[in-house]
Amino acid sequence: MTTPTLDVDLTDLDLFTDGDVHGTFARLRRHSPVYWNATPDGGGFWALTRYRDVAAAYNDAARLSSRNGTVMGGSYRRSADSAGGQMLIASDSPEHRLLRQQVHRAFLPDLLERAGTVVRRYVSAALDEVLATGAADFAEVALELPRGLLAAMFGLDRDEATRMLTLTRHMIGFKDPLYTDGDDTMTLVAAQVEIFDLIGALVAERRRRPGDDLVSILVGARLNGRPMTEHEILYNCLNVAVGGDETTPFTAAAAVEAFAHHPEQFDRLLADPAMLDSALAEIFRWTSTNSYVQRTAKTELTIGGQRITPGQSVTLWNVSANFDEEVFARPEVFDVGRHPNRHLAFGSGPHRCIGLGAAWMEIRILLEELVERRMRFEVAGPVRRLRSNFMLGPTRLPVRVQAHR
């Protein structure tokens, strides 16, 4: 049997907005599961698309480094991330272990419980308004989730949380015409500068008047007996802000889109609310909002028969692994009762997403509120998706809404 020649470009953003993403990854898994994606500058990166390779790579921190950054092209005029060794997601141990110990304190039950109260208040008010009007752009409604989380985690009011949301959206969507004026690079740089200014002001304020929010925790934190540097505080506040702001609203909007297309699955949830946890797991698998992460080979290694040399970029495609037919029965089916469901939406191993608990809490609150109101959705117009291969989800999702009796 002849192996087909694959001409796949995973930097082609059209593929992720209007193309057949899952069909493309299915072909890669079948014919070239460890795929060399050449780039116009003469370089390229390896793409891991099978579940077993992605899971193994997440757990191979000894040979695959995070220090050069987890997003391709996410650092201005540098091949390596300027936050390397200083930001949780862009560090290896021992720095990663020390940073994680401190940032984790912002995700302990007390703070998450307080954050959940604010998130529920914001989301509940928004859903009541949607139900009253009968229509909405759910991509906008979904922003209430991170708005509430930011308000609690950073000690912000609603307007300040909205400002931070706007800046992180421009950072993640710097290649999307919706968020840029045509100069991708300057959009990224301007957003980063502004968000560092905003966080810097919060740091200065918390030094004067400490509270019980993330910024205060990091201002008072110590790494191996020394205070965190200003850069470490800024980078890790940014880490939490971007992770918390951008993943959950895209996941929430994509979940509502999935229920609109598969109303029988929402009916199952209405009939048996005990399925909430399995529904949550399926939502995270199905949406795979954070589509990939990047690693850099520290040493020569072989994956799937392919020789990878030191310094080469290796990308771990969650969006492909979560639809791998070898692991998930009928992965193309949205099934709120799926079990088992060992998805990799939050990664695995030492770099497993530190915000997992917060994301789970936010989407759970949304589902609980939707079930309580018995809200049914119908897509009411063209859906627009973020122009990105890193973050997947709708930026516009017009829906008609009614309470199902």
Domains and CATH numbers, the chain: 13-403 (1.10.630.10)
The confidence score (pLDDT) of residue 229 equals 96
261-272: per-residue pLDDT in tens? 999 999 999 999
The confidence score (pLDDT) of residue 373 equals 96
Query: What is the C-alpha to C-alpha distance for residues 398 and 134, in angstroms, rounded to an integer?
Result: 11
Strands ordered across the beta sheet of 34-38? 34-38, 44-48, 313-317, 292-297, 64-65
Q: What are phi and psi of 200, to 5 degrees?
A: -60, -40
Between strands 313-317 and 394-396, the pairing is unpaired
What average pLDDT values come out for the chain (405 residues) when binned by 10 residues? 72 96 98 97 96 98 95 58 88 96 94 96 97 97 96 94 93 90 84 94 97 96 95 95 89 98 97 96 98 98 98 98 98 98 97 96 98 96 97 97 75
C-alpha neighbours within 13 Å on the C-beta side of residue 338: 24
Report the alpha-carbon angle 342-91-224, nearest 5.
115
Those residues whose C-beta lies under 8 Å from the C-beta of residue 213, and which sit 6 or more positions away, are 106, 111, 152, 153, 154, 155, 206
Say if residues 221 and 227 touch (Cβ distance below 8 Å). yes
The confidence score (pLDDT) of residue 80 equals 59
The confidence score (pLDDT) of residue 369 equals 98
The confidence score (pLDDT) of residue 402 equals 82
Those residues whose C-beta lies under 8 Å from the C-beta of residue 87, and which sit 6 or more positions away, are 81, 99, 232, 235, 236, 238, 239
Distances (CA, A) of 86 to 114, 200, 316: 28, 16, 22
Query: What is the C-alpha to C-alpha distance for residues 371 and 374, in angstroms, rounded to an integer?
Result: 5
The confidence score (pLDDT) of residue 185 equals 85
Query: What is the C-alpha to C-alpha distance for residues 275 and 99, in angstroms, rounded to an integer?
Result: 35
The confidence score (pLDDT) of residue 184 equals 85
Reduced DSSP (H G I as helix, E B as strand, rest coil) percent helix, strand, coil of the chain, to 5: 50, 15, 35
The confidence score (pLDDT) of residue 81 equals 66
Question: Hunting for tokens 């029965």 — which residue is that?
Answer: 329
Count the neighbouring beta carbons within 10 Å of the beta carbon of residue 300: 11
Q: Specify the pTM.
A: 0.95
Distances (CA, A) of 244 to 157, 240, 249, 368: 16, 6, 9, 20
85-114: per-residue pLDDT in tens? 999 999 999 999 999 999 999 999 999 999
Give the residue from 93, 108, 71 showing the smallest Cα distance to 296. Answer: 71
